Amino acid sequence: MKAIEIENLNKIYNNRVQALSDVSFYVSEGEVFGLVGPDGGGKSTIFNILATLLLPTSGQASVLSRDVVNDAKIIRQLIGYLPGVFSLYPDLTVEENLIFFATMYKSRIKDNLPLIRPIWKQLVPFKDRRAGKLSGGMKQKLALCCALIHKPALLLLDEPTTGVDPVSRAEFWDILTNIQKQGITVLVSTPYMDEATRCDRIALIQEGKIIKIDTPTNIMEAYRGFLYTIKVENVFSVMEKLKEFDFPCNYYPYGQELHIAFYEAPEIVLQKFCSFLREQNIKFEELSPIQPTIEDCFIELVKLK
């Protein structure tokens, strides 16, 4: 069974701004599915439609086999939703917030405590602190508790890790893996490409269009370029000189290194490249192939369009 099915979804705001164009994808039950792409790409619009807070302009969307337009009331009881911005009550304490949302779902904290226990344990020392005074990572954990307190079948997480430091982010993803083990389907969005590898499948999305759907491994394997790293003394001056190198390639600075992607048989281009560097009198060491990241794939896919 599919937890989410979306077909040819379009959303146009005020008859002007096309936020989504012909978006189609499905999420299987028990999957962690990631919507990966920059801000303004339409991720939040998809979440709002699935959470029955927004009507699609055209197309079909169903959540747990129920239509988002006609069965909004039923859907709302079955999903947990974490919006992109902190939306709990900042002047209520941690515990008060949790009790409040539990009551709204007609459930009690103790009924679903096992589900949230690993997260709640970390929050207990702060339970009397006002939610507004928590750190970014803690706020997200509290919001997650509130979204899980009625044991939803599907969890919608809209950019849960934006602005959160890398350590808390890694921790948050561990928690998601745990939630998945409890049989809850997760749809999560993120602008951090490196987080994509934590999902079972991802959809790369930009400007309201889905440009690729697959497992992270498949996406990285489908990378068509050849990526190399090269260590040079002055990255910037080398980049200036590379403008004259006339084989198709993409390069960007990576600290004291330069990453460069070639799109043709590497043996020939590499030779040309090395002789070009020598001609230009550029000293270098360590010219070696590297694995592409999801970000490299994203850039390639966008540029190929």
Partner 1 sequence: MRELLMILRKEFIHIWRDRITLLLVLALPIVLVLFFGFTISTEIKNAKISVLDLSNDSKSKILLNKIAASNYFQIVSYPNSESEIDFDFKNKNIKLAIIIPSNFENKLEVEKKATIQVISDVSDINVASVLNSYFRVIINDFLNENYVTNSEAATFEVITQMLYNPEMKSVYMFVPGIIALIMIIVTALMTSITLAREKETGSMRMLLITPVKKVYIIIGKIIPYMLLSFICTLLIIIISVWVFNMPVEGNLAFLLFLCFVFMLTSASFGMIISALVRTQLDAMMVTMMGLFLPTVLLSGFLFPLDNMPQLFQALAHFFPAKWFIIAIKDVMIKGSGFMEIWKYLLILFIMACILITISLIRIDKKE
Partner 2 sequence: MYSIVVENLIKKYNHFVAVDNISFKVKRGEIFGFLGANGAGKTTTIKMLCGLLQPTSGNATVAGYDLKKDYKSIKKNIGYMSQRFSLYEDLTLYENMQLFGTVYGIPRKILKERIYESLDSLQMTEKANSLVYSIPLGWKQKLAFATAMLHHPQIVFLDEPTSGVDPIVRREFWNMLYETANKGVTIFVTTHYMDEAEYCEKISMMSDGQLKLIGTPSELKSKMNVDSIAELFQKIVNR
Q: Answer with the entry of partner 1, partner 2, none that 41 interacts with (C-beta below 5 to 8 A by kind).
A: partner 2
Q: Answer with the entry of partner 1, partner 2, none that 162 interacts with (C-beta below 5 to 8 A by kind).
A: partner 2
Q: Answer with the entry of partner 1, partner 2, none that 100 interacts with (C-beta below 5 to 8 A by kind).
A: partner 1
Q: Which residues bind partner 2 (CB under 8 A)?
A: 37-41, 135-137, 159, 162-170, 191-194, 206, 235-237, 239, 252-256, 293, 295, 298-299, 302-303
Any idea what the Cα angle at residue 25 is, between residues 48 and 82, rounded to 5°? 30
Q: Name the one residue in this structure whose structure tokens are 């043709």.
A: 264
Query: Nearest approach, Cβ of 102 to partner 1 (angstroms)?
Result: 9
Q: Answer with the entry of partner 1, partner 2, none that 103 interacts with (C-beta below 5 to 8 A by kind).
A: partner 1
Contacts 24+ apart (CB under 8 A), 231-234: 231/256, 231/257, 231/258, 231/284, 231/285, 231/286, 232/256, 232/257, 232/258, 232/282, 232/283, 232/284, 233/283
Between residues 149 and 294, which has the closer beta carbon with respect to partner 2? 294
- Return the amino acid letter for 146: C
Query: Nearest approach, Cβ of 227 to partner 1 (angstroms)?
Result: 41
Sheet bearing 284-289, strands edge to edge: 249-254, 257-262, 226-232, 284-289
Q: Answer with the entry of partner 2, partner 1, none that 47 interacts with (C-beta below 5 to 8 A by kind).
A: none
Q: Name the one residue in this structure whose structure tokens are 């993120």.
A: 190
> Are 213 and 220 a contacting pair, CB within 8 Å?
no
- Return the amino acid letter for 145: C
> Are 259 and 252 a contacting pair, CB within 8 Å?
yes
Between residues 87 and 271, which has the closer beta carbon with respect to partner 1? 87
Helices (H) and strands (E) in the chain, counts: 10, 14
Between residues 108 and 133, which has the closer beta carbon with respect to partner 2? 133
Q: Name the one residue in this structure whose structure tokens are 């890694």.
A: 170
Query: Nearest approach, Cβ of 151 to partner 1 (angstroms)?
Result: 14
Q: Answer with the entry of partner 2, partner 1, none that 218 interacts with (C-beta below 5 to 8 A by kind).
A: none
Between residues 31 and 195, which has the closer beta carbon with respect to partner 2? 195
Between residues 146 and 157, which has the closer beta carbon with respect to partner 1? 146
Question: How many other C-beta atoms lie within 10 A of the C-beta of residue 284?
Answer: 15
Q: Answer with the entry of partner 1, partner 2, none that 88 interacts with (C-beta below 5 to 8 A by kind).
A: partner 1
Between residues 41 and 83, which has the closer beta carbon with respect to partner 1? 83
Query: Nearest approach, Cβ of 62 to partner 2 (angstroms)?
Result: 29
> Are 34 and 201 a contacting pair, CB within 8 Å?
yes
Between residues 156 and 235, which has the closer beta carbon with respect to partner 2? 235
Q: Which residues bind partner 1 (CB under 8 A)?
A: 13, 51-55, 73, 76-77, 79, 81, 83, 85-92, 96, 99-101, 103-106, 130, 146
166-181 helix and 113-123 helix, angle to the nearest 10 degrees: 160
